Amino acid sequence: MHRNKHPRGTRNSRHEKKKYPFSKKIIFITTFTISFILICGGVYAIYAMQHTQKEISLPEDEEEQYEQKETSLLEKIRKKQHHEDFETTEQEKTEGNIQTLIYEPVAADSIPQLPAIKTELTTLIDIAQKNSSKKTETKLVGYVKREKINEQVFSYQPIVDTYTWDREKEDWSEKTEHGKNTAFVNQKTKQPLCLQDIFMSEANTLAIQQVVQQKLLSESPDGNAVIDGILNMPSISLDGTAFTYYSDKISLGLPENPTGKTEITLPYNEIAGYVNPEFIDADSIKDALPKPLESDKKYISLTFDDGPNPDTTPRLLDILKEKGVKATFFILGQNVVKHESLVKRVADEGHEVASHSYSHPQLTGIDAQTVKEEVQNTDKAIYHAIGKLPTDFRPPYGAVNKDVAAIIGKPIIQWSVDSQDWQSHNAQAIIKRIDETAYNDTIVLMHDIHPETVDAVSTVIDHLHAEGYEILPSKELLGKKAKPLHMYYGSNDERLVQ
């Protein structure tokens, strides 16, 4: 009955015979794969070690050349530091292929900012180490560079020189990294250079404030939109204003203002009359100031108050143009807003436009806020008319004191010859008065709102020319360096406002 069926044992044996060869094949493939991987890995490891060795080690034929140039380089580095005009100490450290040499000044008391300089030097060294290849011979040299700006100012700056061995050229390549901060030291005081050294006085800082205001307005797309904020900016402070010193210019930090600028740079030739020449590069202000008036010549300035007046000022301008004379107009803000085109003509024809307050009050008899408004409202009116702020100021009735002068923030231009036209209203009396009282280097007071004054001007000019006078605007008579908090009666009569 079961004759045609295979016994169980015989069927199992046949399956085993089929299974065994398959297992042997798996073992063979596995063994072969592992062996192949090991062999390849070994070959790669040997190659990598050889390749790395080539990058780290110098070839034997290059070793001698390298050692000679290394010795020469180190001699050069140490010789350079030895010849610096101040003594240093050397600190040496070697890690792998990177050798670091740091030179620190010995006379630390001559550099009050040395701790900050050392901190930045350490940072520069750390960055240089991180950026240096560990596989290339490198020398890092950190030191403080000292430079003589002039007799009164020395600068100190952290420097890192990186020397890297170039195998192709078989020589050192050099790269220098300068610190971002430079310390300047006043050699007289051995203290950090400060604004007091450069600007010297509050009067000079007020003058520079005017330059800053005008510069911000000139660089603004719409000066009239920002003028209020600019005129009300806090003044430059000798001890509170951040600055960056250069030998030919200075950058001043700005308080918050509508232009959004946080810093402004002023070349010294733009503020030449208000900086201490001992602390700057003399070439930076060369020819920036006008030459002194010639001692063998006579000079006088004609000034006109209270205008402009559309009935009299145009005729006066015609006379001045005919005579080739430039004058100074101390104008009232309330008249400027009424006659802007006339003010523009005054400026366009080369005359000086200066401020005489807005409504002609006696400034010493009103409160500080009103004084400020009288000054600023006139500044704005004049700026709107001619695009420039007035830089000089004549107080109504000549009345001024120290507090008022500080609010005005401009040089106070008084007079030394009074035509008394406001009293006489007579052309011949005006001519006679000036003929009798004029003298060299003086400022003449007149008013362009009086017809009689305009009637007298042509003869006044002829008489002055006949006496040998050269007629100048008051700014030129004073050498373009009059200062706030000071008042001027002539080029040789300057007084501090008390």
Report the C-alpha gap between 438 and 445 in whole angstroms: 11
Q: Name the phi and psi angles at 334, rounded to 5.
A: -70, -25
Using alpha carbons, select from 291, 329, 295 the residue that is nearest to residue 441: 295
The one catalytic residue among 339, 351, 356, 447: 447
- Return phi, psi of residue 292, to 5°: -55, 150
Query: Do residues 169 and 140 lie in contact, with contact meaning Cβ atoms separated by under 8 Å?
Result: no
Q: How far is CA 308 from the centre of its chain?
A: 38
Do 65-188 and 298-496 come out as alike in CATH topology? no
pTM: 0.81
Q: Check residue 27 and give its pLDDT.
A: 55
pLDDT of 65 reads: 86
pLDDT at 48: 45
Catalytic residue among 197, 305, 306, 421: 305
DSSP string, 334-376: HHHTT-HHHHHHHHHTTPEEEE--SS---GGGS-HHHHHHHHH
286, 303, 360, 470 from 415: Cα distances, Å: 31, 9, 17, 17
Residue of 338, 389, 363, 339 lying closest to 487 (CA atoms): 363
414-424 tens-digit pLDDT:
999 999 999 99
Structure tokens belonging to residue 51: 């390749």
* pLDDT on residue 3: 37
Question: What span, in angstroms and rounded, lies between the C-alpha atoms of 363 and 398?
Answer: 9
CATH code of the domain made up of 65-188: 3.30.565.50
447 classed as catalytic: yes
Indicate the fold that domain 298-496 takes in CATH. TIM Barrel (3.20.20)
> Domain locations in the chain?
65-188, 195-285, 298-496
Question: To which H or E segment does residue 139 belong?
Answer: strand 138-148
pLDDT, tens digit (0-9, with 9 covering 90-100), for 342-383: 999 999 999 999 999 999 999 999 999 999 999 999 999 999
**CA–CA gap between residue 329 and residue 332 (Å, rounded):** 10
pLDDT of residue 326: 98
pLDDT per position in the chain (498 positions), as tens? 333 434 434 344 334 444 444 455 555 555 555 555 555 555 444 444 444 443 445 566 678 889 999 999 999 999 988 876 778 999 999 999 999 999 998 877 789 999 999 999 999 999 999 999 999 999 999 999 999 998 999 999 999 999 999 989 999 999 999 999 999 999 999 999 999 999 999 999 999 999 999 999 999 999 999 999 999 999 999 999 999 999 999 999 999 999 999 999 999 999 999 999 999 998 999 889 888 999 999 999 999 999 999 999 999 999 999 999 999 999 999 999 999 999 999 999 999 999 999 999 999 999 999 999 999 999 999 999 999 999 999 999 999 999 999 999 999 999 999 999 999 999 999 999 999 999 999 999 999 999 999 999 999 999 999 999 999 999 999 999 899 999 999 999 999 999
Q: Which of 302, 396, 381, 293 is nearest to 344 (CA)?
A: 381
Active site residue 6: no
